[in-house]
Amino acid sequence: MNDDVLNRICVYCVRPLLHLDCRKVVDGAYEVIQLKGYTSWAIGYSVASLVKCLLRDQRWIHPVSVCAKGFHGIEDEVFLSLPTQLGSTGVVGVLNVPLTDEERKKLQQSAQTLAEVQAELEI
């Protein structure tokens, strides 16, 4: 990931909330791979859980990326990981988790930052 994009996302979204060095987070995956050898078991288990939920129409809640436009005052078409109910038809619904005013404002700022980055990428 481009350091400039990473820094812009971190400054507005992550760093103020968690007080961390975002490059360490991004590079952390490589450290895990070096220590474990690979991380495919977790990915495989996650995919299997999603497929099982869809095929069996279980309507479980999973954190998956969905279009966040319209949720908590988000006006841009950005995709965020939100608690989503999945069934045999796909997305059944997105949970409307109560947020404080401060949490809502920070979520909206994160969405706005992502929209700005998307616009710069001309996607």
Structural domains of the chain ordered from first start = 1-38 (no CATH), 52-123 (3.90.110.10)
**3-35 pLDDT tens trace:** 555 455 444 444 444 444 556 666 766 777 777
For residues 51 and 90, give the distance between their C-alpha atoms in angstroms, rounded to a whole number: 10
pLDDT of the residue at 12: 45
pLDDT of the residue at 3: 56
pLDDT of the residue at 24: 66
pTM: 0.64
Question: Cα dist. 51→67, 83, 88, 90, 93 in Å?
Answer: 20, 16, 9, 10, 17
Comparing 28-32, 68-72, 74-78, which segment has the lowest mean pLDDT?
28-32
pLDDT of the residue at 16: 45
